[in-house]
Structure 1
Amino acid sequence: MTSAQLFDARTPETAPDAPAGGRAARRKAHSSRKRSLAARYLGYVGYFVGAGLISGAVVHHPLDPDRYTRIAGYGALVFLAATVLNEFLLTRERPGPARMLVVIGSSLLLSFGIGMLSGGLQHFDDFPARGAVLVPAGIVVSFIAYVIKDAETPNRRIFSLLGLTVLAVAALAFLGLREVAASMETTPGGGHSHGTAEEPAADDHAPATSPSTTGAPAPTVSSRPKPASTTPAHNDGHSH
C-alpha cells in the first residue's frame, strides 16, 4: 500500500471530528456556561444570605422569639436551597440518598455554626454575655459540621490534633470574652445610664422651687403652739 492510499484511508477517521467544533456546538456550550455561571452565583450568594439571616436571628432571639424564630427558619431554607444547588444540581457526580441526607443535615448545622460565630462577633457590644457563648460555640459547631459535610475528610478528623486545637481555641475564646463581657456589664455607660442620670436632676429642682412659689412651710410653722412664744424674739431680731 502506497503513502497516498494510507492518507486516503485515514481521512474518514478524522472527518467526523470536524463538525464537533461547529458554530451550533460552540453556541450551545456558551449558553450552558452562562447558565452555570448564574446558578453558581445564586448558590454562592445563598450561602451568605442564609448565614446572615441566621446570625441576626440567633443573637436577637430573646428580644422577640416568635419573629426571630421565623427569620432563622427562612435563613435555614435559603442555606439549604444553596446547598442543594451547589452539591446536587451543579455537580457531575451526584451522591446517593444516604450521602444526600448527611450533606443536608451537616449543611444545616454548618449554617447555624456560622450564624452563631458571625452574629456573636457582630453584636458583641449589644449582647456581651450572649456573644461570649455564641462565638466559641459557633467555632466548634461549624468545624464539626464542615468535617461531616466534606466527603474527602474522614469523620475521625474531628478528634484529631486539628480538632483539639479548635476546641482549645474555642475554650480560650470563651474565657477571654466572658471576662470582657463582665467588665462591660460593670462599667456604667450607654443610653440607659444617661436616662437614669437625668431623673435626679429634675427631682432636685422640684423642691428648690417649691418653697418660693407656694410658701408651704409658713402654715406649718404657725400651726405649732411652741414657736408662738418665740415670736417676740424674732421681732427683736428684725428691729435690729
Structure 2
Amino acid sequence: MTTSQLLDARTTDSRPDAPAMGRAARRKAQSRKRALAARYLGYVGYFVGAGLISGAVVHHPLDPDRYTRIAAYGALVFLAATVLNEFVLTRERPGLRRMAAVIGSSLLLSFGIGMLSGGLQHFDDFPARGAVLVPAGIVVSFVAYVIKDADTPWQRVFSLLGLTVLTVAALAFFGLREVAASTQTTPGGGHSHGTAEEPPADDPAPATSPSSAATTAPASTPPAHDDGHAH
C-alpha cells in the first residue's frame, strides 16, 4: 500500500469521529450554561433568604404575626437554595443522614446569619435587642457552618477556634450592651417604624383676636336697680 493510500485511509477513519466530538462539546457547553443559571439562583436564594430572616428577627416585636410569616418565607427560600446547591448541582448524592444534617444545619445557619446581619443593621433602632442578636448570631452561624461542612468534623465546635469564636461573641455582647445603655440615655436618631408623632404637651393656647373675643364675650347683664327690690 502506497503512502497516499495510507493517508487516505487514516483520513477516512478519522472523519466519523469529528462530528461526534462536536456534538459532545455542544452538549457540554449547553450544560454549563444551564448550570450557571442554576448556581446563580442558588446563591441569590441564600442572600434573599438570609435578608428576609434578618429583618424578621429584628422587627418581630413590632408585629409578631407578620414577621413570623416573613421569617418562615426566608427559611423556605434559604432551604430551597440549599437543596439546589448541595443536592441538585452536585455529582455526589449524600445519604439520608447527611442530607438531614445539611438541611438542619442550613436552617440554623440562615437564622444565625439573619441575627448577625439584622442586629448590626438595626442596632441604632433597637440597641438592647441588637446587643443580644449580634453575639448570638456569631455563635449560631459558626456552629451551623461546622455541622454543614462535610470536610470538617463536628467536634471542631469545641476546638481552639470554637473557643475563640465564643470569646469574640462574649466581648461583643458586653461591649454592645454598654453602647446600648449609653444610647438609651441620649436622644438618638434612626428611622421610624410606624409611630405617629405626638404634638408637644406644652403648646401655648392659640391667641384670640379682638374681634373673636368680642363675639365670644358673654352678653352684658342689665344694671342693678338700687330701689330696694330684689329682681
Q: TM-score range by the shorter chain?
A: 0.7 to 0.9
Please give the residue correspondences for 1:80-229 in structure 2 after superposition, counting only pairs within 5 Å.
Answer: 80-190=79-189, 198-200=200-202, 202=203, 205-206=204-205
Amino acid at match of 1:144: V
Name the amino acid aligned to 2:200.
E
Alignment gaps of 5+ in structure 2:
218-231
The percentage of aligned residue pairs carrying the same residue is: 74
CA deviation profile, 1:175-196 (whole Å, cap 9, x unmatched): 011011111111134599xx56
Tell me how far 1:61 sits from its aligned partner.
0.4
Alpha-carbon displacement from aligned partner over 1:107-141 (angstroms, at most 9, x marks no partner): 00000000000000001111111000000000000
* Alignment-derived partner of residue 225 in structure 2: none
Moved over 6 A (4+): none
Aligned AA (1:182): A
* Amino acid across the alignment from 2:104: G
Structure 2 Cα separation of the partners of residues 189 and 42 of structure 1: 39
Change over 3 Å in CA distance of 1:189–1:166 after alignment to 2 = closer
In structure 1, stretches of 5+ residues that fail to align are 217-240
Structure 1 residues 184, 17: CA separation in 2 closer, same or farther (over 3 Å shift)? Answer: farther
Measured in 1, the distance between the counterparts of 2:29 and 2:183 equals 57
Whether the aligned pair in 1 keeps the contact of 2:124 and 2:189 (CA below 8 Å) is no
Q: Deviations over 1:9-33 (max 9, x none)?
A: xx7xx96994486221111111101
Structure having the higher Rg: 1
Q: Distance in 2 between matches of 1:76 and 1:189?
A: 32
Partner of 1:45: 44
TM-score, scaled to structure 2: 0.78
Q: Distance in 2 between matches of 1:36 and 1:97?
A: 24
Taking structure 1 as reference, are residues 119 and 16 closer, same or farther at Cα in structure 2, changes over 3 Å only?
Answer: farther
Secondary structure of the corresponding residue to residue 105 of structure 2: helix
Structure richer in helix, relative to its length: 1
TM-score (norm 1): 0.75
Pair 70,28 (structure 1): closer, same or farther in 2 beyond 3 Å: same
Kept in 1: contact 2:131–2:180 (CA 8 A): yes
Q: Which amino acid aligns with 1:36?
A: A
Shift of 1:51: 0.3
